[in-house]
Structure 1
């Protein structure tokens, strides 16, 4: 097949590339559709609105991922930053939607996108606040704060009726062991798709155990096209805009951590221009989410784990992933197959994915000067606060609303802590 501007279409659509990208799709898909499902159920969406929201979310997430992967003059960092629905947005979206209506909710996401683009150059100038000690701590936190997600899935999914059931734990353990043995006793391509094989094998075993719900596949429609303002035309409210803009700032912080994590894996140095383009892409993604009535996006950490574990970094894999995301969004019947992956199977795979992110962050920290007690204090305090927010969120439930965004996620709380401590101990000069 032809090559256009160094793009090898034969590689993009090749069987090996597709298998590698399927790992990424299965790793992120369930998490990506949870947000629209929670929001739609909380705001009493009709069935048609819910189906639209889920499908459109995946399509816009695919476009947002492309905006990061593409490296242009104004957008894109040129790294495989997989973008999908932000869990941080759930609370603010439900609150704004309940109080002001759906038109204000989607209008606020659109306005937040514009504000993020205006803030992008300012945030990018703060890149000197993220030396390796800081980024290593943030990446370590990303892996550590995701551990409860893996364990909750392993037990059957938080809130499920059979949470902690022995069958769930066995199914997750079997999936884990399959991936473990494949990674240990195979090489090359088979080793690089060990997660995918483990997930598929886990799904097959789940069918025999009666743990595979086929109903979402049967009920899904065959085609769904995102349309501008399909659910509601935008309206604006200052308070609501501020609420969703804070969500956008959190997304920028999370994207920064993923940018640096991937840059280390790709042996790439990040400068101010790279971050500015990455933030611009975040802002455009938010604007598209507002226009097409979907949820705002953030960077997904689990895909960093897939990159680290598989060792496969070709851009063609992620172009293929974007195509798969678009197909799943436009053809919900196909996307529903990924939705049907049982939570324990995902949990077994997540142990590997999140563990690899955690170990990579530790390796970055290991290269720093840990004989300096100040550095030890910075790392320890940031990780303690980050994990504390994730494990005991109720401890911060009474914070005033204007301050509560700091504890909206362990990654944000830990990142802000380590940045401030680094500035306190080592100064803020470039």
Structure 2
């Protein structure tokens, strides 16, 4: 592909096909970046259900398997136009935190089979809503989408800071050693990304995290015993726990699916912007449909609901690679990891400060993309109110999520995420505040 002299131009577009080795390494970079989010939800769900060590390991493997399949479906796209599933953009999919709240009450009522059944039945709502994306898109003008993209990067910053400090609730939270490790990784990525030749700069995050990982091994920060004890191979299987189909169990998840629709539209639009793709409404609808289809598929293999991952959007402008082939390779790698507990353990024991050093730059890049988008909006009084209110409410809830705890369950679910709350505020104000024409 011919290089553009523009520093921010892409090396590979969505349709381009990097060589095997490059695609595999960039795909691995995506998996390593997303791994914390991929395994966090099944770990929380296992804790809620009081699962054994064996059952917990099974839930994690199932989540990796389904995330890999879902990423391939989302990035490749399948089916005729009307029923197409998958946006065709390089998007990483994984288990979704939006369902943690309702999962607690459902698991308390009927255990994991009720959780799986409720997830499957509730996913039908998202699939149904995907056919109404075109009218929904009329309420997503640039002032709304720019605010959402900015908010998406900004709200992820608290996650990056928790990683830098050693993980929320960790005994060694914020100790200087954690900050030093994260700082080294951050500086390595910045220096490599800016000064290294192109063939090295594209792997800056992977290299920076690898060096940080090695440093942590020498500092005794990595539990090598867990890696040694893990099995090399384990075949995937269909749900071993059971699925209980009951509409009562689906109702608590409906708010989660409404949140997912809102967030998926935002993520697809963000990926569209950073990949320099002119999106059609049908692509966005197919992306939302892939979320719903993957969430329906998940419980069949023992996993929860799937959703688009926003954190990987930051990799695209940093690596200047937008090829969907890379995301498909990432999906294949996740499937392989699901069948190799040892390889999965190598990544899962990575100290969080290493991930945090990379996360601060990646999430900041997403936020910068949103600011760039807002730079093209006429900042009059109306648009200023929309931006300020959306970002203000979104960040406020991201910083103090407990503020929504006393709301009725449905509204608590809708406003539990800073991204969804800010998006809802932006949409409402965009509809209420009519543009003044001189």
- Could you tell me how far apart the structure 1 residues matched to 2:342 and 2:16 are? 29
- Could you tell me how far apart the structure 2 residues matched to 1:225 and 1:388 are? 44
Q: 2:42–2:60: 8 Å Cα contact kept in structure 1? A: yes
Note the alpha carbon deviations across 1:52-96, whole angstroms, 9 max, x for none. 100010110111111211233221111012110111222222221
Q: 1:172–1:348: 8 Å Cα contact kept in structure 2? A: yes
- Could you tell me how far apart the structure 2 residues matched to 1:126 and 1:7 are? 27
Secondary structure at the counterpart of residue 298 of structure 1: strand
Q: How do 1:54-133 and structure 2 match up within 5 A?
A: 54-72=60-78, 73=80, 74-133=84-143
- Could you tell me how far apart the structure 2 residues matched to 1:272 and 1:53 are? 35
Is 1:373 the counterpart of 2:381 in the alignment?
Answer: yes
Matching residue within 212, 227, 231 for 1:217? 227
The 4+ residue runs of structure 1 with deviation greater than 3 A are 6-9
Matching residue within 269, 277, 286 for 2:278? 269
Matching residue within 29, 33, 36 for 1:27? 33
Is 1:384 the counterpart of 2:392 in the alignment?
Answer: yes
Q: CA deviation at 1:125?
A: 2.8
Q: CA deviation at 1:146?
A: 0.4
Note the alpha carbon deviations across 1:212-245, whole angstroms, 9 max, x for none. 122332333333333333111333142x201122
Matching residue within 182, 190, 196 for 2:200? 190
- Could you tell me how far apart the structure 2 residues matched to 1:300 and 1:41 are? 23
Q: CA deviation at 1:124?
A: 4.1
Matching residue within 39, 42, 53 for 2:59? 53
Is 1:175 the counterpart of 2:185 in the alignment?
Answer: yes
Count of matched residue pairs: 418
- Could you tell me how far apart the structure 2 residues matched to 1:115 and 1:199 are? 39
Q: CA deviation at 1:154?
A: 0.3
Q: CA deviation at 1:406?
A: 2.3
Note the alpha carbon deviations across 1:281-339, whole angstroms, 9 max, x for none. 11111111122221211111111001121111122212211111111112121111111
Unpaired segments ≥5 residues, structure 1: 1-5
Note the alpha carbon deviations across 1:246-299, whole angstroms, 9 max, x for none. 212211111111110111122322233222211221111111112222121111
Q: How do 1:202-241 and structure 2 match up within 5 A?
A: 202-238=212-248, 240-241=249-250
Is 1:396 the counterpart of 2:404 in the alignment?
Answer: yes
After the TM superposition, which of the residue ranges 353-362 and 315-324 deviates more from structure 2?
A: 315-324
Secondary structure at the counterpart of residue 221 of structure 2: coil
Matching residue within 284, 294, 312 for 2:303? 294
Unpaired segments ≥5 residues, structure 2: 1-13
- Could you tell me how far apart the structure 1 residues matched to 2:47 and 2:420 are? 27
Cα gap change, 1:177 to 1:266, in 2 (>3 Å): closer
Match of 1:320 in 2: 329
TM-score after normalising by structure 1:
0.93
- Could you tell me how far apart the structure 2 residues matched to 1:17 and 1:292 are? 27
TM-score after normalising by structure 2:
0.92
After the TM superposition, which of the residue ranges 330-339 and 28-37 deviates more from structure 2?
A: 330-339
Match of 1:3 in 2: none
Q: CA deviation at 1:8?
A: 9.3
Q: CA deviation at 1:422?
A: 0.9
Q: 2:193–2:201: 8 Å Cα contact kept in structure 1? A: yes
Secondary structure at the counterpart of residue 223 of structure 1: coil
Secondary structure at the counterpart of residue 267 of structure 2: helix
Q: 1:125–1:272: 8 Å Cα contact kept in structure 2? A: no
Cα gap change, 1:133 to 1:51, in 2 (>3 Å): same
Note the alpha carbon deviations across 1:377-414, whole angstroms, 9 max, x for none. 10000000000001011222211112111221000000
- Could you tell me how far apart the structure 1 residues matched to 2:197 and 2:409 are? 51
